[in-house]
Structure 1
Amino acid sequence: MELSPNLSLSQKQQLKLSPQLLQSFELMALPLAELQQKIKSEIESNPALELPSSWEVSYERFAQQKQKKESSGSDDTYSDSSSYGSDYGGYDNEASDRQQMFMENALSEEETLQEHLLSQLGCESLTDEEYTVGEILITNIDSNGFFIEDPSDFLTSAQAVHLQKLLKIIHQFEPAGVGVKDWRQSLILQATLKGLKDADMEHFKALVNDNLELMRANKQSQVAKNLGIDEEELDALYSFLKTLTPFPGQGFASGPQQFVIPDLSIKAEDGELVLSMNNSSLPDLRVNTEFESLAEDLGNTDEAKKAQQYIQNQLKSANSLIFQIQVRNQTLYRLAQVLLTWQQDFFLFGPQYIKPLTQKEVAAQIGVHETTVSRISTAKWIDTDWGIIPVKKLFSNAVGEEGAELSKQAAKETIRQILEEHQGEKALSDQKISDILKERGISVARRTVAKYRNELNIDPSFIRGTN
């Protein structure tokens, strides 16, 4: 067989992510407090960057302004302008004293749940990447022991590779039952750790997920029939359940108060909605002109050329960071404009008026990819007349029958309102809530009501009835 050289051409599309593009993705996903720390770190390491001397990177900045506003009755948390590059006001002369007082008051000798879990994480044999994922997961756990947000919503694709391994490790930590979505999953995890398995575990899951309200109503025979066991076995299973704790993290200190720093505000003023960016929490970064001019004063020696190259690299890095922060802020502002228009009824009248809205629809309106909308809305908060809420709360799928659709968030708020307004001695069951919703023209199945109620952190009727 004779071989001969052969040359062929082919075309293919390939996306190469530049360091600048990767940095843009990173900055978009950062919450405001972490972006502050990112900027502080860059300023400390890059002499080409400078910021106004009156500005100070501080986690307490928003908290202090909020306290000042509440005590004085004024509302100066946000700048009056939504433009970029405006002046950033500094603190008054008492700012450093208030900051010191805050830090002193934040100290606690009692161990918090997160501190307890992190101390156990430090004893594990993990790579740096795995340890970082573990830290992220643990800092997303609330005082009850449950995840504040779904881990899949804030982990990067590279970090998500380690998710299952770290979940398995955290589930072995004390107290048992932490690192899950809610109290039901916690009870099931605790039962697993205590050795419950096979048919007993299946019966236990069915009891916890679907039959506790019947137990509360003393309908043991119906529950036993539902589970396919006799009442004696049910009694033993229920007695075992009572040895577990639905909120495993509550035995620890609550820790220092955590302040959420909103990125923007949409509030009604004189009957009209006003959008403001929280410009005061980020500095007006600029390039240090004295450092920039250093390159002009150097000679032509090898050392001078190395110094010039270093200066150019630092200047390039500084300009890139400034540009990426501008892109982040501009994208967030355009997103907020769409939310203001689309969710106008929510901002004016409250959570029950949140309309169905997807990230894909917003992406089409502002001319970016859907993943960009996901990144820019992740871990971002908005100050409204109805409280400080996650930006992602304003995205919601439609529920109910066609023609009578409302958003998932609106359905959840309606359920909350029904429970708050209920005056009867007997707590409303999920089925009764479903019936009331149907009377209002909202078709939501009992299981869906139970799911939404859990997401609202509202106990089932058998627990509410004991309070």
Structure 2
Amino acid sequence: MKASMRPQLAQSINLTPQLLQSIRLLQLTAPQLELELRQALERNPLLEQEEPLHDAGEDGAADDAALETAAWDELPEPSFLSGGSAGSDYADDAASRIADSASADPRVRLLQLLSLRWNERDLALASWWLDQCDDRGYLEQPHAELLALGAASLGIDAQELELVRIRLLHDEWPGMAAADIGECLRAQLVTHRDGPARDAAQRLLRDHLDLLARHDEAAIASALDIDAELAREAIAMVMTLRPHPVDEPAATEDTHVVPDVVTWHADGRWRVALNPRTAPRVRISAHCERALADAPGDVSALRGLLEEARWLVRGVAMRNDTLLRTAQVLVERQRGFLERGEEAIAPLTLREVADAIGMHESTVSRITSGKYMQTPRGTFELKRLFAVRLDGAEVSGSAVKAMVKRLIDAEPAHAPLADDTIAGLLARQGVRIARRTVAKYRDQLSIAPARQRQRVLACAS
């Protein structure tokens, strides 16, 4: 074999500590940012807390922040951030590997976990599967139908799409995207230690779910041809499994919400401002900076602290400017929601907001995760203002869900509306959805079917 050398041109970028700090500051919540700045004030003597500035000063700071933000967001595309070659089709975005704050959306939380190990193509296919799951993590339609639909709509081989579902089934949240409860429980069971009890539990889930539902230990032992003790161990192992795969976020002791942004209506338009009480304002001490410039001898350690202080001040300004511009776009696009309520929430995606502020989708995702907005309608997470467009309609799924709730709330007490009736009423309003979509939204609202609602009313009377 003959060794040879050939030149190859590639572009890459290294994630410097300063850039990583800027990315991390983007995703800090209000309490986290306050803690970060107070620790910096204690650690770095060149930083000092400043009093609130007048409007003119704030405008100047905003202009500087805009320039810094524009410079930061001119980073190469994700393929360059990974350090890979420009020709890579599915290179990983190294910046997106930094964990975002926990979101209330389980789909977002799971995709954040998977992004640490999965490539972009598989993540996109995983996202498609998650869109087909209900709030518990189960497929909403028959598996075979979804597989054929996905292969046709995405233009890929059905086997590749199914392999991604199998990975979801056995990855971070075992059982995710399962076709039924049996498949979900079997996927969770694989994580248990191998042994006779697990083998018996697998056979029990595969062949005798009816006996398990009756808790008939004798019948289970006879059907599996095992002794009663092993049958009890198998049943106990199954009972430790979760009935659905969605992993709830860990509860925290401090559950109060601090809004990062405040919006209000005045002079005929909606105004947006950062919450001035979320974090202390910091700046570089002017007299320390002047003294350091004229200091004799070796002051490299202090110069390092000065550089660190400068990066922190710039990073906070970038974060605040990005958050404010993002919130302004969200408020402009969702004026209907703020004025009229849930039924007026418009379809809106990360890409649309990113295009409006001239940034990458990952930046918008980080700046909206865990951030809250105080409005006349209450305080809620910024991500709530994003809504998926309903297929074949000009409205969002969230708006249709609110319409379904309004119709059920106003239904006659003696004649609850069936799902197909609700679908017909919505069609008269120009919103055409299938009966199963109505059932899906009704389940998400924890509303019983019409027959059961009628039975409850009959019992009450």
TM-score if structure 1 supplies the norm length? Answer: 0.57
Residue 427 of structure 2: which of 435, 438, 449 is its match? 438
The alpha-carbon deviation at position 408 of structure 1 amounts to: 1.7
- Partner residue, 1:424: 413
Which secondary structure state, in structure 1, belongs to the residue aligned with residue 366 of structure 2? Answer: helix
Question: Is the contact between residue 262 and residue 382 of structure 1 (CA under 8 Å) also seen in structure 2?
Answer: yes
The alpha-carbon deviation at position 420 of structure 1 amounts to: 2.4
Partner deviation per Cα, 1:347-392 (whole Å, 9 max, x = no partner): 2222211111211122112111121111111111112222212211
Unaligned runs of 5+ in 2: 63-97, 120-167, 190-200, 214-240, 245-250
Which secondary structure state, in structure 2, belongs to the residue aligned with residue 16 of structure 1? Answer: coil
- Partner residue, 1:386: 377
Per the alignment, do residues 45 and 453 of structure 1 end up closer, same or farther by CA in structure 2, a change over 3 Å counting? farther
The alpha-carbon deviation at position 52 of structure 1 amounts to: 4.2
Cα distance in 2 for residues equivalent to 1:330 and 1:446: 44
The alpha-carbon deviation at position 406 of structure 1 amounts to: 0.4
Task: Tell me how large the CA RMSD over aligned residues is.
Answer: 4.8
Residue 269 of structure 1: which of 266, 270, 278 is its match? 266
Per the alignment, do residues 440 and 11 of structure 1 end up closer, same or farther by CA in structure 2, a change over 3 Å counting? same
1:198 and 2:189 correspond: no
- Partner residue, 1:97: none
Question: Is the contact between residue 268 and residue 348 of structure 1 (CA under 8 Å) also seen in structure 2?
Answer: no
The alpha-carbon deviation at position 287 of structure 1 amounts to: 1.4
- Partner residue, 2:349: 358
- 1:313-332 matches, within 5 Å, as 313-332=304-323
Residue 152 of structure 1: which of 81, 89, 110 is its match? 110
Cα distance in 1 for residues equivalent to 2:448 and 2:106: 17
Partner deviation per Cα, 1:256-309 (whole Å, 9 max, x = no partner): 672212221223235432222212212211113454355357543xxxx2xx12
Q: Which amino acid aligns with 1:47?
A: P
- 1:41-80 matches, within 5 Å, as 41-52=39-50
Cα distance in 2 for residues equivalent to 1:359 and 1:377: 10
Between the two proteins, the alignment pairs up a number of residues equal to 329
- 1:176-191 matches, within 5 Å, as none
1:284 and 2:281 correspond: yes
Cα distance in 2 for residues equivalent to 1:462 and 1:188: 29
Q: Which amino acid aligns with 1:198?
A: R
Question: Is the contact between residue 84 and residue 326 of structure 1 (CA under 8 Å) also seen in structure 2?
Answer: no
Question: Is the contact between residue 82 and residue 276 of structure 1 (CA under 8 Å) also seen in structure 2?
Answer: no
Q: Which amino acid aligns with 1:418?
A: L
- Partner residue, 2:400: 411
Question: Is the contact between residue 334 and residue 345 of structure 2 (CA under 8 Å) also seen in structure 1?
Answer: yes
Question: Is the contact between residue 389 and residue 397 of structure 2 (CA under 8 Å) also seen in structure 1?
Answer: yes
Cα distance in 2 for residues equivalent to 1:345 and 1:2: 69
The alpha-carbon deviation at position 190 of structure 1 amounts to: 11
Question: Is the contact between residue 27 and residue 325 of structure 1 (CA under 8 Å) also seen in structure 2?
Answer: yes
Question: Is the contact between residue 356 and residue 406 of structure 1 (CA under 8 Å) also seen in structure 2?
Answer: yes
- Partner residue, 2:387: 396
- Partner residue, 1:295: 292
Question: Is the contact between residue 347 and residue 396 of structure 2 (CA under 8 Å) also seen in structure 1?
Answer: yes
Q: Which amino acid aligns with 1:292?
A: E
Cα distance in 2 for residues equivalent to 1:290 and 1:261: 34
Task: Judge which range, 31-40 or 423-432, deviates more.
Answer: 423-432
- Partner residue, 2:36: 38
Q: Which amino acid aligns with 2:407?
A: I
Per the alignment, do residues 187 and 2 of structure 1 end up closer, same or farther by CA in structure 2, a change over 3 Å counting? closer
Cα distance in 2 for residues equivalent to 1:427 and 1:186: 33
Which secondary structure state, in structure 1, belongs to the residue aligned with residue 300 of structure 2? Answer: helix
Cα distance in 2 for residues equivalent to 1:336 and 1:2: 60
- 1:98-113 matches, within 5 Å, as none
Unaligned runs of 5+ in 1: 55-78, 87-131, 142-146, 172-179, 206-243, 248-253
Q: Which amino acid aligns with 1:433?
A: I
Question: Is the contact between residue 85 and residue 284 of structure 1 (CA under 8 Å) also seen in structure 2?
Answer: no
Cα distance in 1 for residues equivalent to 2:186 and 2:381: 31
Greater relative contact order (Cα < 8 A, sep 6+): 1
Which secondary structure state, in structure 2, belongs to the residue aligned with residue 398 of structure 1? Answer: coil
- Partner residue, 2:9: 11
Q: Which amino acid aligns with 1:317?
A: E
Task: Judge which range, 447-456 or 332-341, deviates more.
Answer: 447-456
Question: Is the contact between residue 266 and residue 347 of structure 1 (CA under 8 Å) also seen in structure 2?
Answer: no
Which secondary structure state, in structure 2, belongs to the residue aligned with residue 399 of structure 1? Answer: coil
Task: Judge which range, 442-451 or 185-194, deviates more.
Answer: 185-194
TM-score if structure 2 supplies the norm length? Answer: 0.57
- 1:111-126 matches, within 5 Å, as none
Residue 368 of structure 2: which of 377, 399, 402 is its match? 377
- Partner residue, 1:342: 333
The alpha-carbon deviation at position 330 of structure 1 amounts to: 0.9
Question: Is the contact between residue 335 and residue 366 of structure 1 (CA under 8 Å) also seen in structure 2?
Answer: yes
The alpha-carbon deviation at position 255 of structure 1 amounts to: 8.6
Cα distance in 2 for residues equivalent to 1:334 and 1:21: 20
Which secondary structure state, in structure 1, belongs to the residue aligned with residue 430 of structure 2? Answer: coil
- What fraction of aligned residue pairs are identical, expressed as a percent? 30
Question: Is the contact between residue 46 and residue 288 of structure 2 (CA under 8 Å) also seen in structure 1?
Answer: yes
The alpha-carbon deviation at position 447 of structure 1 amounts to: 2.9
The alpha-carbon deviation at position 425 of structure 1 amounts to: 4.3
Cα distance in 1 for residues equivalent to 2:188 and 2:349: 37
- Partner residue, 2:140: none
- Partner residue, 1:105: none
